[in-house]
């Protein structure tokens, strides 16, 4: 037997095994670091409650708490007054794959859809056969101002669009941290087994039958089952986007913390 060759094979095998084990260890450490990033800002009691209710958080908690003000705007829409209505057909349909390249989509549709460069793709609002884009203001989405692109045979064939004309921006105020918002949802609203898949800061407001509309700074929290919570980023008032739940906003809002309570909580956190 060639012992020298056998020894070399054994050494190489051990090296490969060590590399494999090292790679697995690196993956485990990275996964743990990702988990720490997601949960680092949550209070310990809320983490324990998450375990008890089997609530999962697959989205990272945003750490920024910018100062934002209410948006006042005029709404122009291609939708009928009641219901979704039929989409407006494109004169020249384009490949649906272009949706994943913002620059190409803007280039191909700028002559057919007004201000398309002011909208950004919203993965969590899109559905089968419809790409949903949100109107952006200073880099943040207006969650209820949408551009819907309708797909047929892998082509974008039509659209429905909400357009806005900004009138003004209110006095900026610092928004609540995402961790405080999620902690409140865990404690009061989320059911056992809920999975939080997305957390975004933008603007949201109920549409009224009036010339001017107002959209407030809002945290949007999306669950795996499709349920969406909108949390006023200043007051903490909570509403859902459940279809058919006409009283949902009022019922949830009644549980929302008051400004005084939020201020008290913030003071406690600082201490």
Residue-wise DSSP of 224-268: TTS-EEEEETTT--EEE--TT-TTHHHHHHTTSPPHHHHHHHHHH
List of E strands, the chain: 56-57, 67-68, 71-77, 88-95, 119-121, 130-137, 140-152, 155-169, 173-174, 195-204, 212-223, 228-232, 238-240
Q: Roughly what angle, to the nearest 10 degrees, separates helices 178-188 and 44-53?
A: 40
Strands 238-240 and 228-232: antiparallel
SS3 78: coil
Strands 212-223 and 155-169: unpaired
Rg of the chain taking only CA atoms, in angstroms: 24
Q: Distance from first CA to last CA of the chain, Å, rounded? A: 73
- Average pLDDT per run of 10 along the chain, which is 271 residues long? 64 71 54 49 87 92 95 85 75 90 91 95 94 97 96 94 95 96 94 96 92 95 96 94 43 38 40 40
Look at residue 240 in the predicted model and tell me its pLDDT: 84
The b/e string for 224-259 (b: 16+ C-beta within 10 A; e otherwise) is eeeebbbbbbbbbbbbbbeeeeeeebeebeeebbee
Burial of 62 (0-12, 13-18, 19+ CB in 10 A): middle
Structural domains in the chain, sorted by start: 40-68+172-270 (2.40.128), 75-169 (3.30.310.160)
Q: Which residues pair with 134 in a beta bridge?
A: 120, 146
Compute the distance between CA of residue 135 and CA of residue 194 in angstroms, rounded to an integer.
29
Look at residue 1 in the predicted model and tell me its pLDDT: 52
Look at residue 42 in the predicted model and tell me its pLDDT: 84
Look at residue 38 in the predicted model and tell me its pLDDT: 57
Look at residue 15 in the predicted model and tell me its pLDDT: 74
CA 216 remoteness from chain centre: 16
Look at residue 242 in the predicted model and tell me its pLDDT: 53
Compute the distance between CA of residue 204 and CA of residue 43 in angstroms, rounded to an integer.
27
Q: Which residues pair with 212 in a beta bridge?
A: 74
């Amino acid at each position: 037997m060639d012992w020298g060759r056998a020894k070399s094979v054994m050494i190489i095998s051990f090296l490969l095994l060590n590399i494999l084990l090292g790679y697995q260890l690196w993956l485990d450490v990275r996964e743990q670091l990702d988990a720490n990033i997601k949960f680092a800002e949550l209070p310990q009691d809320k983490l324990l409650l998450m375990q008890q209710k089997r609530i999962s958080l697959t989205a990272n908690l945003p750490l920024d708490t910018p100062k934002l003000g209410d948006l006042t705007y005029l709404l122009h829409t291609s939708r009928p007054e009641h219901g979704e209505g039929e989409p407006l057909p494109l004169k020249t349909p384009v490949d649906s794959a272009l949706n994943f390249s913002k620059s190409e989509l803007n280039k191909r549709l700028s002559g057919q859809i007004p201000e398309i460069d002011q909208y950004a793709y919203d993965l969590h609002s899109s559905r089968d056969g419809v790409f949903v884009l949100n109107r952006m203001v200073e880099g943040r989405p207006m969650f209820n101002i949408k551009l819907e692109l309708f797909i047929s045979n892998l082509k974008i064939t039509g659209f429905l669009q909400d357009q806005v004309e900004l009138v003004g921006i209110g006095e900026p105020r610092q928004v609540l941290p995402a961790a405080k918002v999620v902690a409140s949802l865990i404690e009061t609203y989320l059911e056992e087994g809920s999975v939080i898949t997305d957390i975004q800061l933008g603007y949201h407001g109920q549409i009224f039958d009036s010339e001017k509309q107002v959209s407030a700074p809002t945290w949007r929290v999306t669950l795996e089952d499709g349920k969406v919570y909108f949390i006023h980023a200043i007051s903490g008032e909570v509403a859902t986007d459940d279809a058919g739940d006409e009283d949902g906003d009022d019922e949830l809002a009644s549980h929302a913390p008051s400004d005084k309570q939020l201020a008290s909580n913030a003071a406690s956190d600082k201490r």
